[in-house]
Amino acid sequence: MAAEIAVVVNGVRSVVPTGTRAREVIGDRSAVAARINGKLSDLDCVLEAEATVEAVGPESDAGLEVIRHSTAHLLAQAVQSLFPGTQVTIGPTIADGFYYDFAPPRPFTSEDLPEIEKKMRQLAKANLKIERSEMAREAAIALFERMGEHYKVEILQGIPEARVSLYRQGEWMDLCRGPHVPSTGYLRAFKLTSVAGAYWRGDEHNAMLSRIYGTAFATKEALDEHLRLVELARQRDHRRLGREMGLYFFDAIAPGQPFYLPKGIVIFNNLIDYIRRLYRRYGFDEVVTPQLYRNELWHQSGHWENFRENMFLAADPEAATATIDTGAEGWRTGYGVKPMNCPGHTFVYRAEKRSYRDLPLRFAEFSRLHRAERSGVLHGLTRARVMSQDDAHIFCTEAQIEDEVAMNLAMVREVYATLGFAQVEFKLATMPDAHLGSVEQWRMSEGKLAAALKRNGVEFEENPKEGAFYGPKIEIYVPDALKRRWQAATIQLDYNLPERFDLSYTASSGSEERPVMIHRAILGSVERFIGVLLEHTGGILPFWLAPEQVRVLSLSEKVEAYAAEVAALLRADGFRASADLRNEKLGFKVREGELAKVPYMVVVGEREAAARSVAIRLLRGEKNQSASLEELRARLKSEPLPG
RNA sequence: GCCGAUGUAGCUCAGUCGGUAGAGCAACUGACUUGUAAUCAGUAGGUCGCGAGUUCGACUCUCGCCAUCGGCUCCA
């Protein structure tokens, strides 16, 4: 081995003795880790050959990740010292922090967090050195076996490498790939945020572990700023906005189902009207099919087998035995409320003899769908038990698939751009392990979806094995205020349903062929979309969607009649206008208008009444533009209506 | 469904050791006649989520159920 090696540190070349540690060649004392030949490593990593070394600062993405990962270890150390008998499992970093899953004698509660956090601070203050070591995998298994860490043993048994790395800080140690900060003193700004249950390895058949979430930053200031932003995001929660803006509410009498108030349904209806206008342009035909079907339908469609747990079922009161699922033929007497429109649409398809000249056929429907969601998953409008989708089923030939998917993607892009969603995530969900059809057919359909995506020039990632069992799909995700991702739009290929319902069309050759079905929704669930849209906009909706578009504020009793006349005039023009004639000061009325997020406030006092004019105040305080009544009406009429 | 937490007036929340409840906003009434994010005063409003149990006595302690919140699993 050479006595000296050449290193390039942050772009500067030098020669150091072999065995020098990365920390020694990096001058920067604030560094939390090193990048050696591009690989993230500990600062104590020994340099044994020529290397390029870069400092990883605490504020960089990689540095933050190291800090968070090390903080997760600190958490585990604190927990094991406070709660003997607790086993550790895994503790990864996540988008804004980290978590650690434990198997404790009793589950943790949020009341345990302050004590754990206090212990973490003590351990951080002790500035324990964090040391890496390696050992043979078998030796590590024996070691953790002795320590009673059965989950770690299970993890080790799944690791292919012969040698594994361990990290020790003080008396405590953990199996870990690293890297970590050099000592616990580097961890200064962290906070434990919540506790939750989580299944071991994410499988609900496994044991329920106790998970603790936390976050960590390079500085106290960055941590405080993050906590402040989280708090601001909470105020955008659509459940809060829905109540504050008087849009909808929920009641225990109908779990998971919104009561839309007059203002809320305005948003709902205008979104649907917008999609309807697009349907005229894109060539869709709207239909309405039944809500309640004999269970025979669900047997034929496969929903009985695959979706029954999520369906609301009802007995037939006229049946001799009014049961739902008892006895061999019991199901025939029952009904099921539709959770999807697709089976109904196959009946629309079958209503006539179809030929290749008819295709593609595009049937759209906005009917309400009901799904018996498990109680723990409900989440305001974004996860409800009733929803209306801007649903459509396209029946086409194999050769038409790519064009159809590309056309629907264009529609998706138009809608999301119009509604102001700049960062939409596209995913291509591919063949799952349990699937119908041949691998070749799957790869071909996936290729068609990918080609349609590329034709639209959108970036997308694969979502491996996440396709439906009957075909691949394109999923479109949008984030809520807390950056949780919700699936909105979807485009799915389906070879199964046409088969089950024996659909066919006459080809030009005269032979009977099987059409392909494409399920697609642009907004997805209109409920979910409204929820995400409210969080995205903070409730400040575009003019065409605003429940109340104009509010006329009267300055005193003397101008009551004029204010009412202005509002009536605007209503006659078709605007959603109201007048606030209450005996209150202007400042109070303006405040309420702001809180209600009315885009136009129109102030009228004696000056305006005399001149038959108004003072326009836009939302967010852009104020005081005097205008004649005609100017106001012209201005409102120039507000764009999309589609 | 699972883990943890929460549930008090329309909304947001206090309520100590077990002795049958309080504020602000909203509502209603009145005064004020208002110029761009909260005028003042008064009045009314509660089976303390629901049901059992312990106790002389339960908003408070115990159990069950329901709903909600944060996660997990599932999913649009």
Give the tens place of pLDDT for each residue, A519-566: 999 999 999 999 999 999 999 999 999 999 999 999 999 999 999 999
Residue nearest to nucleotide B10 (CA to C1'): A243
CA of A249 to C1' of B10 (A): 12
Q: What is the mean pLDDT of residues A445-455?
A: 95
The tokens describing A79, both together, are: 């927990």
pLDDT for residue A151: 95
Residue nearest to nucleotide B1 (CA to C1'): A374
For the residues A369-393, what does the mean pLDDT come to?
96
pLDDT of residue A329: 52
Model confidence pLDDT, tens digit, residues A568-602: 999 999 999 999 999 999 999 999 999 999 999 99
Per-position DSSP letters for A273-287, written without gaps between them: HHHHHHHHHHT-EE-
The answer to whether A78 and A184 have CB atoms below 8 angstroms apart is no
A87 is catalytic: no
pLDDT tier at A49, thresholds 50, 70, 90: confident
Go through A163-199 and write b for each residue having 16 or more CB atoms within 10 A of its CB, e for each that does not.
Answer: ebbbbebeebbbbbebbbbbbbebbbbbbbbebeebe
Burial label for A131, CB within 10 Å (0-12, 13-18, 19+), is middle
pLDDT at A610 over 90: yes
CA–C1' gap, A406 and B71, in angstroms: 37
Rounded Cα–Cα distance for residues A513 and A398 (Å): 10
Residue A324: predicted pLDDT: 52
| Residue A320: per-residue pLDDT | 58
**pLDDT, position A330:** 52
The residue lying closest to nucleotide B66, measuring its CA against C1', is A252
- The DSSP line for A521-546 is EEEEEHHHHHHHHHHHHTT---TTT-
Sign of CA dihedral A408, A412, A417, A418: positive
- Rounded to whole angstroms, how far apart are CA atoms A149 and A33? 28
Q: For residue A10, name the pLDDT band (cuts at 50, 70, 90).
A: confident
Tens digit of each residue's pLDDT (9 = 90 or more) over A306-349: 899 999 998 877 765 555 555 545 555 689 999 999 999 999 99
* A393 among known catalytic residues: yes
CA(A270)–C1'(B24) in Å?
37
Q: Which of A83, A108, A103, A82 is nearest to A91 (CA)?
A: A103
Rounded distance in angstroms from the CA atom of residue A245 to the C1' atom of nucleotide B33: 29
Does the annotation mark A389 as catalytic?
yes
Residue A399: exposure state from Cβ atoms within 10 A (0-12, 13-18, ≥19): exposed
Looking at residues A206-210, what average pLDDT do you find? 94
d(CA A525, CA A391): 9
Q: Which of A68, A473, A528, A551 is catalytic?
A: A473
Residue A19: pLDDT band by 50, 70, 90 thresholds?
A: confident
- Given the residues A393, A413, A520, A617, select the one marked as catalytic: A393
Give DSSP secondary structure letters for A286-302: E----SEEEHHHHHHHT
* Structure tokens that stand for A642 in this block: 């999309």
**Mean pLDDT of all residues in chain A?**
92
Which residue's alpha carbon is at the shortest distance from the C1' of B50? Answer: A252
ipTM computed for the complex = 0.94
Cβ–Cβ < 8 Å for A162, A137: yes
Out of A6-15, A213-222, A580-589, least confident range: A6-15
- Report pLDDT digits (tens) over A404-437: 999 999 999 999 999 999 889 999 999 998 888 8
Instruction: List protein-proximal bases of chain B (any atom < 7 A from a CB).
Output: 1-5, 7, 11-12, 31-39, 66-76
Q: How confident is the model at residue A144 (pLDDT cuts 50, 70, 90)?
A: very high
**Is A391 considered catalytic here?**
yes
Specify the nucleotide whose C1' lies closest to residue A199 (CA).
B72
Per-residue model confidence (pLDDT) at position A46: 83
User: Full-prediction pTM beyond 0.80?
Assistant: yes
On the question of pLDDT at A180 being above 80, the answer is yes
Q: Give helix A401-418 / helix A439-455 axis angle, nearest 10°.
A: 40
What sign results for the dihedral spanned by CA atoms A534, A540, A542, A548? positive
A609 closest CA partner among A636, A590, A628: A628
pLDDT in tens, A101-127: 999 998 898 889 999 999 999 999 999
A109 CA, B18 C1': Å apart: 26
Q: Would you state the pLDDT for residue A606? A: 94
